[in-house]
Amino acid sequence: MTEEPICSVRGLEKHYPITRGLLRREVGRVRAVDGVSFDVERGEALGIVGESGSGKTTTAHTVLGLEEPTAGEVRFDGDPVSELSGDERRDFRRRAQLIVQDPNDALDPRMTIGEAVAEPLRIHGLDDADRRRAIVADILERVGLSGDDLDRYPHEFSGGEKQRISIARALVVSPDLIVADEPTSALDARVRSEILDLLDRIRREFDIAVLFISHDLDVIRRSCDRIAVMYLGEIVERGATETVLADPAHPYTRVLLSSVPSLDPTDRELGRPLTDTVPNPSDPPSGCRFHPRCPDVIPPDDLSVPEETWRTIAGFRFSVQAGELPESAVGDRESETPTSGDGDAGGRTATEVRRAVGLSEELRDPEAEAAVEDAAAELAAGDVDAADEILAAAFTSVCERETPAAVARPAGRDADRDATGTVSCLRHGRGGTSEPARSDGDGKNES
C-alpha cells in the first residue's frame, strides 16, 4: 500500500473580492489561486515556481491555513485542515512550519535569539525553561551557529545568520513539513548557496518534507525533487525537476528558462514571450491564460503563412491588445494622416506602422494581408481599439477558445528520461485528464 502524502491539495481556490463604494459592493474578484492540485510526499522537496503574481505565496499561505480557501481542500496527514480544531489544530501548527523571505519578519528585535527560537516550544507546552534552553542550544549548533548565541539579539547577526536562526525556529518543534517562501532571495550568492545546502541537509537528516516557493529556477533545480510551474493562479506543468527543466513541455516553462542568463543567445530567442504584460488576475484571459504572451500560440486553421510570420502576426495582435506597441507604430488621432503610402510628415502611415511591427512584407494569404493592412491603417490614424477589433476577428486562436486539460507530459528527447508529470497546453492535446501518477493530483483544471 502506498504511503499517504504528508500534504494533499485538491482544487484549491483563493479569490479576493474587489469592492467599491460606501456599501463595499463586490464588483469582481481577484482569482489569485484558481483550481490548484498537488501532493507533497513525506521527506521530499516540491518546488512551486513562477513570476511574481502567479499565486505561489497565496498557495503556500492557504496550505498552511494562514488564508481561508475560497474552494477546494487541503489535507495534512490525511485530515482536512479546515476541519481541525483545538488540540488537532495546535498539532497541525506545530507539524507545518513556515520560513519567510525576510528573516526580520520572523524575529522580534526585542527578544534574544534564545527567546525567539524557544517561543514555539513554549507555545506548544514545554514549560521547563532549562529544557527549552538546552534544545535551543542544540538546534542552533545544528544550523551552523553557536549555542553561546542564545543571549544575543537579532541586530548582532548578518542576514544569512538571521535566516539560519529562522530555520532553527522552524525546526525546533520537529515539523513534518516546512514551507519555504523565497527563503534565499534576500541573500547574496554565497550565503544563498550555504542556506540551500543547510535546508537540503536538514531535510534529509530529519526526513522533513519541504515546499519551496520561488521565482528562481536555479534554486528549484538545486533543491527540489519535483517542480510545479505556476502561471496566473494555475499550475501549467509539473514533473520531476530534472525532466521538466531539461525538456520543458509548456511554453511558459521555456519562457522562465529563457530568463535565466545563458551563453547561448538562441535560448532567450526561443523562449521570448510575445508580450511582457501579465494579465490582471481579476480578469484572466479566456482559454489558456498564457495565450496572449505565448510564443507557441496555435494559428487559426485557415491561415496559410510560415510559422515565423504567424509568430510576428500574433505578437502584433497581442501587443495591440496589451498596449505594448512602439511609439512609432501609433499615429496621432488629431492629425490628418493617410492610411497608406509614405506621404504626410504630420503623422504615421500604414507602411510605417507595418515596418515598426516587423510586417513590412506583403503576406501571401490575402485575408491575412487585408487584416494586417486595415489594422495598420487604423493604428496610423491613432485608433488602437479599432485595430484590436480587426486583428481579434481575423486571427482568433483555439488557445483563446478552449481551456487546456492537464495531460501526461511527452517522453521528450531522451527516451530513458522519467516522463511522469502533466502539462496543460493545447499543443499536447485538446482533451484528456490529469495523469493518475503519484503526487500529481486530480481536480479542477489540474493546472
Cβ–Cβ < 8 Å for 107, 162: yes
CA angle 237, 242, 247 (to 5 degrees): 60
Alpha-carbon torsion angle 174, 180, 181, 183, nearest 10: 110
Cβ–Cβ < 8 Å for 47, 227: yes
- Other beta carbons within 10 angstroms of residue 53's beta carbon come to 16
pLDDT in tens, 179-199: 999 988 878 888 989 999 999
pLDDT in tens, 10-19: 999 999 999 8
Q: Mean pLDDT for the chain? A: 87
If you average pLDDT over each of 71-75, 97-101, 325-329, which comes out highest?
71-75
DSSP 290-322: TTTT-TTPPPPTT--S-HHHHHHHHHHHHHHHH
pLDDT confidence of residue 265 = 53
Cβ–Cβ < 8 Å for 282, 293: no
Q: Which amino acid is at 188?
A: D
Q: How would you classify the pairing of strands 226-231 and 45-49?
A: parallel
pLDDT confidence of residue 2 = 65
pLDDT confidence of residue 441 = 44
Report the side by side order of strands in the sheet with 79-80.
25-40, 7-20, 71-76, 79-80
Banded model confidence at residue 437, pLDDT cuts 50, 70, 90: very low
Show Cβ contacts of residue 369 under 8 Å, excluding neighbours closer than 6 positions: 362, 363
pLDDT confidence of residue 37 = 96
Lookup: cell for 367: 485575408
Residue 105: burial class (beta carbons within 10 Å; 0-12, 13-18, 19+)? exposed
Residue 91 CA to residue 70 CA, distance in Å, equals 24
Supply the pTM of this predicted model. 0.87
**pLDDT over 70 for what percent of the chain?**
88
Banded model confidence at residue 345, pLDDT cuts 50, 70, 90: very low
pLDDT confidence of residue 135 = 94
Banded model confidence at residue 432, pLDDT cuts 50, 70, 90: very low
Residue 183 CA to residue 196 CA, distance in Å, equals 9
Find the helix packing angle between 307-322 and 384-394, rounded to 10°.
140
pLDDT in tens, 312-344: 999 999 999 999 999 889 988 665 544 444 444
**pLDDT over 90 for what percent of the chain?**
72
The kind and range of the H/E element at 16 are strand 7-20
Q: How many residues does the chain have?
A: 447
Lookup: cell for 339: 492610411
pLDDT in tens, 371-430: 999 999 999 999 999 999 999 999 999 999 999 999 999 865 544 444 579 999 999 976
CA angle 42, 45, 46 (to 5 degrees): 105
Show Cβ contacts of residue 247 under 8 Å, excluding neighbours closer than 6 positions: 412, 413, 414, 417
Average pLDDT over residues 163-175: 94
Average pLDDT over residues 133-145: 93
Choice between 131 and 337, residue whose per-residue pLDDT is larger: 131
pLDDT confidence of residue 185 = 83
pLDDT of 346 over the 50 cut: no
> What is the rounded radius of gyration, in angstroms, for the C-alpha atoms of the chain?
26
pLDDT in tens, 226-273: 999 999 999 999 999 999 999 999 999 999 998 876 545 555 455 789
Query: Which of 159-163, 190-194, 200-204, 262-266 shows the lowest mean pLDDT across its residues?
Result: 262-266
Average pLDDT over residues 45-58: 95
CA angle 126, 128, 133 (to 5 degrees): 95
Lookup: cell for 382: 491613432
pLDDT confidence of residue 434 = 36
pLDDT of 20 over the 60 cut: yes
pLDDT confidence of residue 298 = 96
Q: What are phi and psi of 68, to 5 degrees?
A: -85, 130
HSE (CB half, 13 Å, CA atoms) of 344? 18
What are the CA-CA distances from residue 323 to residues 10, 163, 330, 331 (Å)?
36, 41, 10, 14
pLDDT of 86 over the 90 cut: yes
Strands (E), 306-441: 407-408, 421-423
Residue 403: burial class (beta carbons within 10 Å; 0-12, 13-18, 19+)? middle
pLDDT of 77 over the 90 cut: yes
pLDDT of 70 over the 50 cut: yes
Set out the domains of the chain in order of their start, with CATH numbers: 1-74+208-268+405-447 (3.40.50.300), 78-175 (3.40.50.300), 299-396 (no CATH)
pLDDT confidence of residue 271 = 72
Q: Which amino acid is at 288?
A: C
pLDDT confidence of residue 386 = 97
Average pLDDT over residues 25-36: 91
Residue 252 CA to residue 440 CA, distance in Å, equals 19
Q: What are phi and psi of 277, to 5 degrees?
A: -75, 120
pLDDT confidence of residue 412 = 58
Residue 104: burial class (beta carbons within 10 Å; 0-12, 13-18, 19+)? middle
Residue 386 CA to residue 378 CA, distance in Å, equals 6
The secondary structure of the chain in percent helix, strand, coil, rounded to multiples of 5, reads 40, 15, 45
The kind and range of the H/E element at 242 are helix 241-246
Residue 217: burial class (beta carbons within 10 Å; 0-12, 13-18, 19+)? buried
